[in-house]
């Protein structure tokens, strides 16, 4: 029996939009993996959906004066549509507010409850709002933080100092519903006996075995995942409360639990199950084949690192407590993506949300794949990484346009020119010509199966690079000039076209918008499920992907460059983003205006510097450089040529006669082919403006500054 793959991505919480960090964390990697599996013709289902319960949603609804239902409807639709627009190809995007999910969660609870030993009942004291006659969830209580004195700390956390709190710790607690001081009252809650699962969980995570029976290869899990889990287990597992006094959520299915709902963290992962049920129902399949198929099922959870403990400890414990369910074979959690060096922050406006990207880049060609590529190239697979617009531009221009796009284009153009787009007949041993490509493809497959998508996409680019190098080595254009019937040229073009055809398949998981366009210019239909298997076989056997006589389509530009001399429109889109960030930074400047003073040095360190007075006698722009000016500085005893990166701040004409201070003993350095013999001193303020360190005219050139 062949394996079935059950893939999940963390359910987005339906009270807000998702930013690029979320996309890079749990959705894009999963999409790549799932598309890869489908290309291999595997039996795979990928589920996700909106997580729509919890106090945060009711509070937000109250604040905005709308119903919780309105909130979740809005964000469910937004997130679902945005994912779809970015090519995130879930098999099912469900939601936890559906009756099916409620029923599934209640059944799950009841099963555990009926076992008798999975839950504890505890009566605890909790704050109660007497005016509104209800218990207050942690988030409904504010008060003064005992650690930092912040007066608006929530019952679960102080947003000022970040410390985790319990409502009982707050000084002067008040209800956010009535504003009154709440009173303590007894209430009953149910606790999941996580502690009873500690032993097998440790073995499962550390060894990858369950009661000695192999389940997965523990060393294939990411280090930070295993590390954090073992750290948690070492701290000892405690029974965990799974119910809340709240009116928004899934009612606890017990007669004595009126007014109580399942804690959102309990029902959310069950959402994976209900989503699969719904999908299977609509497909006429049996959901249990995927969740209860034992060793035939590969369950993979894609999440961000904030969710590790939940998906590696709590949810597996729930699944095993329930019985029959499979456990995740791997949880390839990603770390966090930062944005231009800082964390995404909605309140600061720092970062960009997925839907916002699509809107603001609406005029950017191939914007979906441009974003996907920038993110894959920089996935936080093993540590936090950083999204920068500079990288976005570089990846797009240097790799997508110059390497990949240009390769495809030159192959197509040459083949059209020489053979009217029809593949010539050749005698060529592809397994020999494409030996290195074959190795790269094998490596590519291994990397994907190790969840190393960053490596995998770079291997694809190496194949494209191989193509460029191959073309350059053969230089068919040189041969063709004298011998248009050359066998060598035919072979070269035939082989090159095979590489393009291969790229179109390998790229599909990463660039699902571009891959079909390449197929189109090759005269092929979009790639079909399972086609990768056949492709890999052909590559291994040295058989062509496109045969002699195949007719290619007309070449088109896949990626028009951002830095394009004739068309600045794409650069303008990027520049608007840069400007936005600059404005945020400037608005915040006054608070963090000064740079920290550097490490202490000794007098001798200072004495090494030879600073001299000088006068700029001539200045001119450096050709082909936006920022550089070539300056001639009179030091009295000699005139130095100094290249300085100030062209964006000063015109050459304004500089002649300017008194400056230079570093006279700095090692010379060539910039844009001109040797710069020193460095001009300037100060830079918080807004990036510059000013010269100067001296009074007439005092003298070449004098030592100390």
* Residues engaged in binding RNA (CB under 7 A): 146-147, 163-164, 223-224, 227-228, 230-232, 234-235, 305-306, 309, 335-336, 343, 378, 381-386, 391, 394, 398-399, 401-403, 405-406, 408-410, 413-414, 417, 452, 454-455, 458, 465, 468-469, 471-473, 475, 477-478, 557-561, 563-565, 670-673
Identify which of residues 235 and 549 has a Cβ nearer to RNA in the complex: 235
Report the DSSP pairing between strands 690-692 and 4-9. Answer: unpaired
Among residues 550, 559, 555, 503, the alpha carbon closest in space to that of 524 is found at: 550
Contact 82, 358 (CB under 8 A): yes
Indicate the residue among 422 and 534 with the shorter CB distance to RNA.
422
Query: Strand pairing partners for 339?
Result: 342, 387
d(CA 439, CA 445) in angstroms, rounded, equals 10
Decide whether 130 or 564 has the Cβ nearer to RNA.
564
Question: Scanning the structure block, which residue is given the tokens 């797009």?
Answer: 396
Q: How far is the CB of 355 from RNA (least distance, A)?
A: 24
CB of 511 to RNA, least distance (A): 12
Q: Could you give the C-alpha distances from 485 to 412, 424, 481, 488, 490, in angstroms and in order?
A: 18, 10, 10, 9, 8
Q: Which is nearer to RNA, 1 or 164 (CB)?
A: 164
> Under a CB-based contact definition with an 8 Å cutoff, are residues 508 and 527 in contact?
yes
Least distance from RNA to the Cβ atom of residue 694, Å? 29
Phi-psi region of 620 (alpha: psi -120 to 50; beta: other; left: phi over 0): beta
The token pair that represents 616 in the structure block: 């700029």
For RNA, the closer CB: 356 or 465: 465
Which residue lies nearer to RNA by CB, 446 or 681?
446
Between CA 449 and CA 445 the distance in angstroms is 6
Which residues contact residue 390 at a Cβ distance below 8 angstroms, ignoring those fewer than 6 apart?
A: none
How many whole angstroms from its chain centre is CA 291?
Answer: 28
Provide the Cα torsion 146, 151, 154, 156; round to 10°: -10
* Rounded Cα gap, residues 634 and 259, in angstroms: 85
The residue written with tokens 């030993």 in the block is 117
**46: closest CA among 22, 29, 60?**
29
Give the nearer residue to RNA in terms of CB position, either 204 or 336. Answer: 336
Q: Which is nearer to RNA, 277 or 519 (CB)?
A: 519
Distances from the Cα of 46 to the Cαs of 74, 89, 125, 378, 453, in angstroms? Answer: 23, 8, 42, 23, 18
User: Smallest distance, Å, CB 521 to RNA?
Assistant: 10
- The answer to whether residues 497 and 423 touch, using CB atoms and an 8 Å cutoff, is yes
Secondary structure of residue 452 in the 3-state scheme: coil
Could you please report the per-residue DSSP string of 170-223?
-EEEEETTT-SPPEEEEEEEEEE-GGGGHHHHHHHHHHSEETTEE-S-GGGS-H
CB of 199 to RNA, least distance (A): 18
Task: Give 508 or 531: the residue with its C-beta nearer to RNA.
Answer: 508
**Residue 510 and residue 464: Cα distance in Å, rounded?**
15
User: In whole angstroms, what is the distance from residue 208 CA to residue 204 CA?
Assistant: 5
CB-wise, 406 or 659, nearer to RNA? 406
DSSP 8-state code for residue 323: -
Residue pair 75/100 in contact (Cβ under 8 Å)? The answer is no
The alpha-helical segments, DSSP class H, found in 600-665 are: 603-607
**Minimum distance from CB of 617 to RNA (Å)?**
24
């Amino acid at each position: 029996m062949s394996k079935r793959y059950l893939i999940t991505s963390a359910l987005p919480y339906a009270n807000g939009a998702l930013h690029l960090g979320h996309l890079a964390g749990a959705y894009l990697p999963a999409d790549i993996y799932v598309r890869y599996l489908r290309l291999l013709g595997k039996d795979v289902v990928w589920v996700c959906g909106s997580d729509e319960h919890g106090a945060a949603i009711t509070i937000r609804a109250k604040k905005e004066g709308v119903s919780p239902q309105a909130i979740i409807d809005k964000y469910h639709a937004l997130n679902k549509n945005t994912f779809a627009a970015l090519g995130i190809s879930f098999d099912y995007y469900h939601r936890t507010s559906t009756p099916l999910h409620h029923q599934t969660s209640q059944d799950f609870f009841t099963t555990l409850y009926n076992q008798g030993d999975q839950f504890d009942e505890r009566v605890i004291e909790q704050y109660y709002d007497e005016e509104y006659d209800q218990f207050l969830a942690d988030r409904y209580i504010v008060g003064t933080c005992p650690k930092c004195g912040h007066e608006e700390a929530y019952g679960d956390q102080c947003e000022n100092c970040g410390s985790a709190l319990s409502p009982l710790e707050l000084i002067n607690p008040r209800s956010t519903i009535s504003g009154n001081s709440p009173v303590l009252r007894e209430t009953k809650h149910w606790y999941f006996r996580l502690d009873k699962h500690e032993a097998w969980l440790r073995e499962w995570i550390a060894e990858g075995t369950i009661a000695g029976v192999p389940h997965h290869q523990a060393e294939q899990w990411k280090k930070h995942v295993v590390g954090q889990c073992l750290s948690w287990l070492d701290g000892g597992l405690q029974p965990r409360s799974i119910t809340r006094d709240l009116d928004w959520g899934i009612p606890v299915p017990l007669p004595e639990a009126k007014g109580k709902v399942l804690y959102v963290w309990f029902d959310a992962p069950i959402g994976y199950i209900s989503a699969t049920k719904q999908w299977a129902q609509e497909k006429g399949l049996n959901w249990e084949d995927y969740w209860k198929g034992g060793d035939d099922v590969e369950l993979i959870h894609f999440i961000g690192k904030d969710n590790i403990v939940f998906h590696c400890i709590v949810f597996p414990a729930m699944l095993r407590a329930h019985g029959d369910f499979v456990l995740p074979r791997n949880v390839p959690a990603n770390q966090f993506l930062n944005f231009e060096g800082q964390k995404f922050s909605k309140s600061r406006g720092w970062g960009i949300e997925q839907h916002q990207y699509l809107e603001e880049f609406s005029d950017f060609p191939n914007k979906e794949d441009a974003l996907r590529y920038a993110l894959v190239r920089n996935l936080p697979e093993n540590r936090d990484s950083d999204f920068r617009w500079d990288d976005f531009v570089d990846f797009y221009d240097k790799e997508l346009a110059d390497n990949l796009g240009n390769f495809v284009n030159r192959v197509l153009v040459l083949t059209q020119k020489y053979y009217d787009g029809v593949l010539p007949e050749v005698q060529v041993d592809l397994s020999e010509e494409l030996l290195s490509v074959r190795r790269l493809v094998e490596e590519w497959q291994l990397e994907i199966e190790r969840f190393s998508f960053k490596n995998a996409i770079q291997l694809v680019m190496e194949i494209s690079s191989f193509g460029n190098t191959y073309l350059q080595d053969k230089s068919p254009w040189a041969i063709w000039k004298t011998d248009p019937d050359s066998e060598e040229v035919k072979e070269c073009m035939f082989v090159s076209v095979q590489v393009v055809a291969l790229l179109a398949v390998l790229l599909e998981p990463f660039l699902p918008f571009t891959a079909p366009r390449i197929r189109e210019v090759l005269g092929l239909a979009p790639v079909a499920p399972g086609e990768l298997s056949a492709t890999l076989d052909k590559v291994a056997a040295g058989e062509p992907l496109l045969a002699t006589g195949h007719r290619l389509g007309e070449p088109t530009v896949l990626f028009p460059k951002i830095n394009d001399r004739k068309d600045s429109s794409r650069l303008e889109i990027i520049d608007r983003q840069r400007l936005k960030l600059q404005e945020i930074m400037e608005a915040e400047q006054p608070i963090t205006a000064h740079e920290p003073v550097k490490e202490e040095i000794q007098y001798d360190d200072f004495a090494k510097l030879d600073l001299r007075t000088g006068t700029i006698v001539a200045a001119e722009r450096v050709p082909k450089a936006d920022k550089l000016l070539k300056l001639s500085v009179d030091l009295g005893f000699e005139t130095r040529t100094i290249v300085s990166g100030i062209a964006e701040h000063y015109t050459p004409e304004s500089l002649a006669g300017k008194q400056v201070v230079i570093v006279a003993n700095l090692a010379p350095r060539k910039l844009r082919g001109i040797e710069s013999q020193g460095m001009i001193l300037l100060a830079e303020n918080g807004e990036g403006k510059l000013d010269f360190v100067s001296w009074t005219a007439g005092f003298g050139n070449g004098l030592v500054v100390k």
